[in-house]
Amino acid sequence: MTSKRDLARGILWTTFLQDDHLLAALRDDSKIDVLPNSLTDLADRHIVEREILIQAEMQHKNVVSLIPTFATSAQIHIIMELMSHSLRQKMISEGALCEKDASWILHDATNGIAFCHLHGVLHRDLKPENITISDHGTAKITDFGLSTNTKGLTACGTEQYKAPEIWAHEEQTTSVDMWSLGCIMFEALTKRLTFPQAKTSDMIAAIDSAKVSYPHSLSNVSKDLIQKLIVRKAGSRLTASQVRHT
């Protein structure tokens, strides 16, 4: 008999932990994503298939593993490595992170990002929810539903973490992920949104100016790194490879 426990809802599907002989045969630390029947039209299937293809190719210790998938006429099943919790959940339970904790999480995430960028993949939706942490304390990036292996102009991503060039419909490069990483780092260390403006128009203006209000509690080292990521000119931001060696 199959038993399913709802774990989380993504953009296109509900995630379940399914305890049956199939998953047990694979391994206990796996999860299965099921695309609901209502999302089986060609456009939705194309998005999911693209995510499967990109994430399956990103075989790295800091990218959530995707185990071979299978499909039925009505559903697409995606089996992925099960992580303990997300950075968002850690921030909710612990509040602002100490620099030591933030450092190793962001170091691991940057390793995963650097690997993706090396292979020409832009994630384009990095946020605390998409940085996950294993039972062994390894941080890994996940959710490649909005990723692409080409430069683009498509508006995408989560508002608070979107780089200014996305809002401005300018060409997107790997630098969009570095902007998002800067916003994530700021939020993880302060438990404050980088751009907290209530009105979307005010937030977009603040993002476009790249002006951030840094609290006194933030160390000079952290502030300096964030300032090198949250830069209006995309080409002036640190790359993932550079962040790894800071």
- Reply yes or no on whether 125 is catalytic: yes
Whole-Å CA distances, 53 to 71, 155, 198, 218: 14, 21, 37, 39
Q: Which of 19, 20, 28, 125 is catalytic?
A: 125
Summarize the chain as % helix, strand, coil (round to 5): 45, 15, 40
Long-range contacts of 19-23 (CB under 8 A, 24+ apart): 23/79
Please tell me the distance from the alpha carbon of residue 190 to that of residue 196, in angstroms, as a whole number. Answer: 12
Please tell me the distance from the alpha carbon of residue 230 to that of residue 243, in angstroms, as a whole number. Answer: 13
Structural element, H or E, at residue 226 = helix 220-227
Residues with active-site annotation: 125
